[in-house]
Structure 1
Amino acid sequence: MFLDLLIRRNPGFIEAAMALHQSGEIPANAYVLDLDAVERNARLIQDEADRLGLTVFAMTKQIGRHSGFCEAVQAGGISRSVAVDMACALACDRAGLKTGHLGHLVQVPTREAAFAAAKLKPDYWTVFSDDKAAEAAAAAQMAGRNQALMARIQTSGDTFYRGHEGGFDAGEILAVADRIDALAGGSFAGITTFPALLFDPDTRKVRPTPNLDTLHRAAEALARAGRDSIAVNAPGTTSTTVLAALAEAGATQVEPGNGLHGTTPLHAVEDLPEDPAALYLSEVSHHHGGKAYCFGGGLYIDPVFPKYQVRALVGSEPTTTRAALRDVEVPDYSAIDYYAMIDATGPDAPKTGDTVVFGFRGQAFVTRALVVGLRGVSTGAPRVTTIENGFGDLVDWPGSFRP
């Protein structure tokens, strides 16, 4: 879905990745990042947020919490992360991107709260229940801190992905705020939900969910009770294009993730300010039954669109010509993606060792793919920075070995 966008708007990135793979510097089964473009995108988002008075926390899970990505985001002016889980917080913190928001989407495990409070020291910590609020506050008190706590709220009719449900009853937010304020080591700081915005594939537009109205109504109730300086955290499908609408709806905090590398659903159907800065790279392994099999491992294609024909660029030389495009069959999500199958008909059939480039909205942190940072694409001198796993750990990749 995003391959056409990459070809049109960042062809040099594709060609650099293919050349570096063919020279042995990028492994197969790798998410590759154009860190120059990430830095530019971060600056665009931060500048627009500054204009609107919004606080920005960067989401890094989609690209495996890569340290170079964290550094590029900081160079673009965003100084804090939102951690989807503790692993995310640890990787970002190690890379210098400190924790702005912890506990949302994934709550902090009970026996990890003390570490989170003492070592990560998040600016905001989201809790879904009184039990989790008490844990966070007690951990902060033990660390000699007072922790700003945000309440995840929900009400009947709100939209949640299955398995994401949870939170305080929005109709009881005044009592929730009072209970959190009564905790030693904690104080009520605001409200949050997810998703506040979603892409509508029928209209091809980003629309507010019922959750955003729930946030707005809860914030109004809090303001009437004298709590008019709270944080209102409204993540979901975030890019420069939607920031004004979020600010108008009362949001004070936004959390771009895919927007930082130009792969929100809206980027696939409209040319937005952010450039595409991520691709998935593989290599032809073997042939069978008229198909060229390429290595998998990172073929988790985030299902934000109805199923579509996946395509890839395939070649032994850097190319963005559409003649190099091939239809690809990707295994169903119920199977392990050891390989994908490329159409191998015609005179220019893929050869073993050919580079394969996909453009899709990925989620590197749930795969076994590596993540590779590139710098210098914008200046015509691309180079690999680091190769890391999905936890942001450096990998001693054997392909870099030269006898």
Structure 2
Amino acid sequence: MFLEKTRQENEKLIACAFDLHQRGLISPDTYILDMDMIRRNGEMMMKEARETGVKLFFMTKQFGRNPLVATMLQDLGFDGAVAVDFRETETLRKAGIQLGNVGHIVQIPKAQIPAILEAKPHTLTVYTLEKMKEIDEAAKALERVQDITLRIIGKEDFLYPGQYGGFTLEELPQVVETAKSLPHVRISGVTSFPCFLYSEMSKKVESTPNLKTVLEGKRQLEELGLTIKDVNLPSVTTTATLKAIRNAGGTHGEPGHSLTGTTPYHRQAKGEESPAMVYVSEVSHQLEGMSYAYGGGSYARSHVAKALVGKNLEDSVITDVIPPRADNIDYYIALEGNHHVSDTVVMAFRTQIFVTRSHVAVVDGIQQGTPKLLGIFDAQGRKLDELAI
């Protein structure tokens, strides 16, 4: 999906991938994160964010909740991190990362709420009255008031399977009435997902019906006497879309794939951000005119199509990839043609590292020609034994 674009805009990363694998410093089924390029992408985004006034909570699930990358982004001035589920909060808290928006995609289990509140998140997104009451109870024990954001949904909204949940517009009067009886929570934000999506037809990032629902929810809540200061409008948050967020009335965005230059928008358009991530494997064996590389990093929506195979970039050949079917375990990734056993395989595609069993190698200095392997981590952001590959 992104291999040709990566060759055009970040060939140094691909060359580094071949080198690290051929020297045995990384194993097959490893994603490489280019810290130089992620930093460059983040700097551009923060510059635009300051000019537009949009605040940014960065997402880490796409790059494996990596603490080194998260710390670097926090140092650049991002306003905190999105924790899409309760396990992500554990990794982020241990790394000393400020929690921005917690609980939007996955609600916080009751037992984890006190520990998360102790980390002083900017906001917790909720979509049940029961969860609101649990947060109030935990905040009371800490003698504080916690800001919460309502996820609001409408009849015509687009929601991904496995992500259903939210308050309808019709429920808002009851939600506000309940909140008035809970002195330790304060409704201060509204959100939905996705509010923006890239259109393959128009080749533009366009708003979804969800955006209209969120803005209507804000209007109704303010008519009910609330002050709504946070209007969080994901997704496809990139340098190029921050003005659209601001112009729609948004206050916050949540960049994820844009930090590694791997949104659908980046595949089709000349986005400001450049690719900063590749996947590395190795040819295991051949059978009947096909070669098989070690798997483990596949993602059902990756749209992987091509791979470079060889011992180095200069002598590598490009070949078609046949990704594993969604109903099979990705023990291997099939490649067209016969390729030498133990050759390096480099791919670039859309991923969500946190749902894989891959390793993550963080490398600094690639763009300066002095690559340094900073560490190898698992897909959940835990650092592995330095000697383990």
Q: How would you bin the TM-score normalised by the shorter chain?
A: over 0.9
1:368 counterpart = 2:357: yes
Give 1:378 shift.
Answer: 1.3
Give 1:230 shift.
Answer: 2.0
What secondary structure, in the 3-state scheme, does the structure 1 residue paired with 2:217 have? helix
What secondary structure, in the 3-state scheme, does the structure 2 residue paired with 1:377 have? coil
Superposed, 1:2-401 pairs within 5 Å as 2-118=2-118, 120-302=119-301, 310-319=305-314, 324-344=317-337, 349-396=338-385, 399=388
- The answer to whether the Cα contact below 8 Å between 2:240 and 2:271 also exists between their aligned partners in 1 is yes
- Assess, with a 3 A threshold, how the Cα gap between structure 1 residues 369 and 88 changes in structure 2: closer, same or farther: same
- The answer to whether the Cα contact below 8 Å between 1:17 and 1:32 also exists between their aligned partners in 2 is yes
Give 1:156 shift.
Answer: 0.8
- What number of residue pairs does the alignment pair up? 389
What secondary structure, in the 3-state scheme, does the structure 1 residue paired with 2:291 have? strand
Q: Given residue 24 of structure 2, which amino acid in structure 1 is its aligned partner? A: G
Residue deviations 1:197-246, cap 9 Å, x none? 11222222221110001111222333445545421111111111111111
What secondary structure, in the 3-state scheme, does the structure 1 residue paired with 2:190 have? strand
- Assess, with a 3 A threshold, how the Cα gap between structure 1 residues 128 and 225 changes in structure 2: closer, same or farther: closer
What secondary structure, in the 3-state scheme, does the structure 2 residue paired with 1:131 have? helix
Give 1:351 shift.
Answer: 1.0
What secondary structure, in the 3-state scheme, does the structure 1 residue paired with 2:139 have? helix
- The answer to whether the Cα contact below 8 Å between 2:99 and 2:120 also exists between their aligned partners in 1 is yes
- 5+ residue gaps, structure 1: none
Give 1:333 shift.
Answer: 1.1
What secondary structure, in the 3-state scheme, does the structure 1 residue paired with 2:367 have? helix
- The answer to whether the Cα contact below 8 Å between 1:24 and 1:399 also exists between their aligned partners in 2 is no
- 5+ residue gaps, structure 2: none
- The answer to whether the Cα contact below 8 Å between 2:45 and 2:239 also exists between their aligned partners in 1 is yes
- The answer to whether the Cα contact below 8 Å between 1:258 and 1:264 also exists between their aligned partners in 2 is yes
Question: Aligned partners of 1:36 and 1:74: how far apart in 2?
Answer: 15
Q: Given residue 173 of structure 1, which amino acid in structure 2 is its aligned partner? A: L
Q: Given residue 161 of structure 1, which amino acid in structure 2 is its aligned partner? A: Y
What secondary structure, in the 3-state scheme, does the structure 2 residue paired with 1:378 have? coil
After superposition, the CA RMSD in angstroms is 1.7
- The answer to whether the Cα contact below 8 Å between 1:38 and 1:72 also exists between their aligned partners in 2 is no
Question: Aligned partners of 2:271 and 2:179: how far apart in 1?
Answer: 40
Residue deviations 1:329-357, cap 9 Å, x none? 1111110000011112xxxx421111111
Question: Aligned partners of 1:65 and 1:139: how far apart in 2?
Answer: 26
Q: Given residue 321 of structure 2, which amino acid in structure 1 is its aligned partner? A: V
Question: Aligned partners of 1:128 and 1:229: how far apart in 2?
Answer: 16
What secondary structure, in the 3-state scheme, does the structure 1 residue paired with 2:162 have? coil
Q: Given residue 326 of structure 1, which amino acid in structure 2 is its aligned partner? A: T
- The answer to whether the Cα contact below 8 Å between 1:153 and 1:169 also exists between their aligned partners in 2 is yes
Question: Aligned partners of 2:233 and 2:223: how far apart in 1?
Answer: 21
Question: Aligned partners of 1:229 and 1:166: how far apart in 2?
Answer: 21
- The answer to whether the Cα contact below 8 Å between 1:302 and 1:363 also exists between their aligned partners in 2 is no
- The answer to whether the Cα contact below 8 Å between 1:181 and 1:188 also exists between their aligned partners in 2 is no
Question: Aligned partners of 1:272 and 1:27: how far apart in 2?
Answer: 31
What secondary structure, in the 3-state scheme, does the structure 2 residue paired with 1:152 have? strand
- Assess, with a 3 A threshold, how the Cα gap between structure 1 residues 301 and 281 changes in structure 2: closer, same or farther: farther
Question: Aligned partners of 1:175 and 1:250: how far apart in 2?
Answer: 25
Question: Aligned partners of 1:246 and 1:58: how far apart in 2?
Answer: 15
What secondary structure, in the 3-state scheme, does the structure 2 residue paired with 1:141 have? helix
- The answer to whether the Cα contact below 8 Å between 2:300 and 2:326 also exists between their aligned partners in 1 is no
Q: Given residue 361 of structure 1, which amino acid in structure 2 is its aligned partner? A: R
Residue deviations 1:145-187, cap 9 Å, x none? 2110111111111110012111111244354234324313211
TM-score computed with the length of structure 2 as normaliser: 0.96
- The answer to whether the Cα contact below 8 Å between 1:79 and 1:97 also exists between their aligned partners in 2 is no
Moved over 4 A (4+): 397-400
Question: Aligned partners of 1:79 and 1:351: how far apart in 2?
Answer: 47
